[in-house]
Amino acid sequence: METIVLASNNAHKIKEFKEILTEYNIVPMAEVGFNEDIEENGTTFVENSKIKTAAISKYLKSKNLDYMVMADDSGLCVDALNGEPGVYSARYAGEHNHQANRDKLLRVMQGVEDRSAKFVCCITLLKPTGELIVAQGEVHGTITTFEDGDTSFGFDCLFHSTELGKTFGNATAEEKNKVSHRGRAIEELKRQLGK
């Protein structure tokens, strides 16, 4: 089984990738000794994802490790906010605070009629040969006016999925994986890998 080093130590994200990309041994970056903070200063999901794969690939080469590297960048894009929070989703209200991010979104969306939004995910996979694969996925829905469901992860309890007819906060992992932006991006990645 081929190993892919995932540019993340986020337990939710690692679990999601392992559940969908079962043909590969998914290893979080900490397991190969990479613990540096990667500055995501790109202006698009693709740029940020590429920055992460490049940083870890460089580290692996310095250790003579020949693994594929995968990174994703994802976020919530709200139509009425011109695509915000977008690439700044995780730090929308400051430093990676899920509750503060949701509170800010609910505040800025007060009284806004158009509540349409989408989650976008861009995955890049960099092979040791230098070949880069880019895959994207989206899921559409609306922003609720209150938190509904599990509040432990990002904007899930504020995002009402059109396809599921409920918030991601109320969806099972299996339901979410079937329609989620990350799930779709992973499926597109698998297609490009011929898996």
The rounded distance, in Å, linking the Cα atoms of 62 and 105 is 42
H helices of 24-166, in order, are 45-62, 98-108
Q: Is 114 a catalytic residue?
A: no
The rounded distance, in Å, linking the Cα atoms of 149 and 193 is 35
Those residues whose C-beta lies under 8 Å from the C-beta of residue 125, and which sit 6 or more positions away, are: 4, 53, 68, 69, 70, 132, 133, 135, 189, 193
Query: How many CB atoms within 10 Å of residue 174?
Result: 8
Query: How many CB atoms within 10 Å of residue 107?
Result: 9
Of 73, 148, 150, 156, the catalytic one is 73
Contact 128, 69 (CB under 8 A): no
Q: Return phi, psi of residue 121, to 5°.
A: -135, 135
Contact 78, 92 (CB under 8 A): no
Active site residues: 73
